[in-house]
């Protein structure tokens, strides 16, 4: 499949945050050739199962399966294998599942690809952006933690486990880059076009700023799917990510 993104500084992925396959198909039809990479998250995957991944693959699209797995290593290995066999390109796990679980996810993804899927990279979720230092401390039975320090520590665990990268906010990207350089690919959500509606996100970045911060992948949600014309919004995203030659 010819990749749309070859000339872009970062790869845009549109989040199909919709309840069912009909809504997903409608959005994919509206975006047409302007988008070749979609995120299927917990809502859509739980509603439709792997058939939605198969359908997207059949349409020639790449798929990021955002399930944020967190379980014992054996279970995560098996789930990652299954996701890779369905043809996903990216899969998320929680870094706090530990180094052995991360390595098991990588191992499962590799074996799923060799069993008929395609190369599937594992990305670690460090600290959910819905949690602050006090919330993490409460969940982990500690006093309030320094979120950036925890993100960097967990990013190290992801790297040690052999995963391809992490999910992080654009505002954490510089610190992660300073510590881990090119060793971890960064997937950055919370992207907005210049002057666009923030919705419920507080800390957003433009596609260009996220690419400057070192993003390899960008998650586009409502900035594209909530636009009056999603295809036009996606064209603006792509234009802002063109490499200057
Ligand atoms: O751009 P918008 O706010 O609509 O994007 C929301 C998408 O980004 C959702 O799919 C959500 O799961 C994802 N996301 C996020 N913040 C994070 C991680 C993922 O908004 N920290």
State pLDDT tens for residues 81-129: 999 999 999 999 999 999 999 999 999 999 998 877 779 999 999 998 8
Positions of the chain with pLDDT lower than 50, given as ranges: 1-2
Instruction: Report CA Rg, the chain.
Output: 17
Say if ligand 1 is within 6 A of residue 201 CB: yes
Residue-level pLDDT at 204: 87
Of 127, 221, 226, 234, which is best to mutate to test ligand 1, by the most ligand atoms within 8 angstroms of its C-beta? 221
Residue-level pLDDT at 2: 45
Residue-level pLDDT at 245: 64
Say if ligand 1 is within 6 A of residue 221 CB: yes
Regarding the domain with residue range 11-239, which homologous superfamily does it belong to in the CATH classification? Aldolase class I (3.20.20.70)
Active site residue 61: no
For the stretch 123-150, what's the b/e string if a residue is b when 16 or more beta carbons lie within 10 angstroms of its beta carbon? Answer: bbbbbebeeebeebbeeeeeeebebeeb
Give the residue whose CA is nearest to atom 15 of ligand 1: 189
Cα distances (Å, whole numbers) of residue 148 to 98, 171, 196: 18, 10, 27
CA separation for the pair 53, 46 (Å, rounded): 12
Which residue among the candidates 30, 68, 153, 177 is catalytic per the annotation? 68
Residue-level pLDDT at 1: 44
Rounded to two decimals, the pTM is 0.95
């Amino acid at each position: 499949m010819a990749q749309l993104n070859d000339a872009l500084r970062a790869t845009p992925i549109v989040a199909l945050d919709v309840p069912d396959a009909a809504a997903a198909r409608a959005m994919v039809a509206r975006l047409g050739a302007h988008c070749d990479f979609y995120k299927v998250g917990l809502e859509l995957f739980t509603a439709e199962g792997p058939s939605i991944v198969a359908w997207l693959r059949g349409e020639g699209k790449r798929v990021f399966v955002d399930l944020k797995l967190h379980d014992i290593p054996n279970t995560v290995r098996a789930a990652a294998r299954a996701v890779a066999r369905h043809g996903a390109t990216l899969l998320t796990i929680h870094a706090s599942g530990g180094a052995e679980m991360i390595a098991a996810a990588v191992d499962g993804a590799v074996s799923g690809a060799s069993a008929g899927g395609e190369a599937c990279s594992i990305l670690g979720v460090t600290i959910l952006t819905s949690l602050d230092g006090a919330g993490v401390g409460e969940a982990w039975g500690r006093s309030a933690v320094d979120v950036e320090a925890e993100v960097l520590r967990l990013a190290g665990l992801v790297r040690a486990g052999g995963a391809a990268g992490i999910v992080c906010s654009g505002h954490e990207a510089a610190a992660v880059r300073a510590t881990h350089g090119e060793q971890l690919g960064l997937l950055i959500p919370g992207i907005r076009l210049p002057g666009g509606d923030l919705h419920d996100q507080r800390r957003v970045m433009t596609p260009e700023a996220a690419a400057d911060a070192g993003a390899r992948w960008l998650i586009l949600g409502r900035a594209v799917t909530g636009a009056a014309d999603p295809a036009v919004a996606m064209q603006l995203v792509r234009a802002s990510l063109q490499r200057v030659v």
